[in-house]
Amino acid sequence: MGIPIGDEDVPSPEPPIINMTIIFLNVVIFIIGVLFPWVIKPDALTYSDIVESLGMVPAYIITGERFYTLITSMFLHGGLAHLIGNMLYLYIFGDNIEALMGKVRYLLFYIASGLGATLFHLASIVFMPENALVNAVFQQGINPWLIPAIGASGAISGVLGAYMVLFPTSRVRVVTFWAWIPFFLEFPAFIYILIWFIYQLIMGLSTAFTGVQAGIAFWAHIGGFITGMALLPVFISRDRLKLLLYYKYNRIIRGY
């Protein structure tokens, strides 16, 4: 499908302060964590030490420990590509959602989507078939209960779920490459995000039933997406939604 590089913005009474702040925090935490890990955690020698301490380890949560990692894990990333990819999606899709929720509601929605993503990730391990778990542990040497889950993608998936509901016909601009030659395309948001979700679902089911770990928490993406759509009616601002409808109506009347 390609990498998203832009979309159609909607009018907003204020800049997307919360969205940009979340992006800023994720970038700063990653840079400091890699270069000066002891600033974030005094006894940390490497970024891996931070991930081990502040990442969400399923075994701890199930036993009632380290609940703070439900939040801290949302601001950690496994590498530069992981960080850039997540922040790109949040930059493109998050501002429109904040415009229709307002600052406080958007922040709460973002956190709630991340928590919903974590719940689905935990459930995917709890209900993983025994043969799949055995395959993961003994064939691949990976125990899903002990692997720290990190990243903002669960919360961002909630943003995508809300975006697909609110802006299904919005044009998403993407770039794709063929033999290193860039091609620029446009897709309706509904199509682009739906294909993204179907891919997450296929990979999530594959991981759940085979135990083959791809290093990506697909069920967190699925859970965040579903949570975002489910919570949208709770966090949407009716007044701002009327503004959106007015804006769209005038665009149709004017023919652009």
Q: Is the pLDDT of residue 249 over 80?
A: no
Give me the pLDDT at residue 248, please: 61
- State how far the Cα of 14 lies from the Cα of 150, in Å rounded to an integer: 31
The confidence band for 153, taking pLDDT boundaries of 50, 70 and 90, is very high
Query: How many percent of the chain have pLDDT more than 70?
Result: 94
Q: At what angle do helices 153-166 and 80-101 cross, to 10 degrees?
A: 40
Q: Which helix (H) or strand (E) holds 171?
A: strand 171-178
AA letter at 118 = T
pLDDT, residue 134, reads 79
| Arithmetic mean of pLDDT, 218-228 | 98
Query: 87-135: per-residue pLDDT in tens?
Result: 999 999 999 999 999 999 999 999 999 999 999 999 999 998 888 887 8
Q: Please state the φ and ψ torsions of residue 167, each to the nearest 5 degrees.
A: -130, 55
**Model confidence, pTM:** 0.92
pLDDT digits (tens, 9 = 90+) for 171-206: 999 999 888 889 899 999 999 999 999 999 999 999
What is the C-alpha separation between 213 and 134, in angstroms, rounded? 12
**Is residue 147 over pLDDT 90?**
yes
- Among 52-61, 198-207, 211-220, 240-249, name the one with the lowest average pLDDT: 240-249
- Secondary structure element (H or E) that encloses residue 163, with its range: helix 153-166
> By C-alpha distance, which of 121, 6, 46, 30 is closest to 83?
30
Please check the confidence at residue 165 and state whether its pLDDT lies above 70: yes
What is residue 188's three-state secondary structure?
strand
Instruction: Classify residue 88 by burial, with Cβ atoms within 10 Å: 0-12, 13-18, 19+.
Output: middle
Chain-wide mean pLDDT for the chain?
A: 91
Question: Please, how many CA atoms are within 13 Å of residue 3, restricted to the half-sphere of its CB?
Answer: 14
* Distance separating alpha carbons of residues 3 and 17, to the nearest angstrom: 24
Residue with more model confidence, 146 or 241: 146
Q: Residue 256 — pLDDT band, cuts 50, 70, 90?
A: very low
Under 8 Å between Cβ of 235 and 97: no
102 near 18, Cβ under 8 Å? no
Correct CATH for 3-254 of 1.50.10.10, 1.20.1540.10, 3.20.20.70, 1.10.1060.10: 1.20.1540.10
pLDDT > 90: percent of the chain: 74
What band does 247 get if pLDDT is binned at 50, 70 and 90?
low
Whether 67 shows a pLDDT value over 80: the answer reads yes
What confidence score (pLDDT) does residue 208 get? Answer: 85
- Give the tens place of pLDDT for each residue, 36-66: 999 999 999 999 999 999 999 999 999 999 9
In this prediction, residue 252 carries a pLDDT of: 43
Is pLDDT larger for residue 180 or for residue 154? 154
Q: Taking a C-beta distance cutoff of 8 angstroms, is the pair 229, 208 a contact?
A: no
Residue 253's pLDDT is what?
Answer: 43
Answer whether residue 213 shows pLDDT above 80: no
Residue 104 makes CB contacts below 8 A (sequence gap 6+) with none
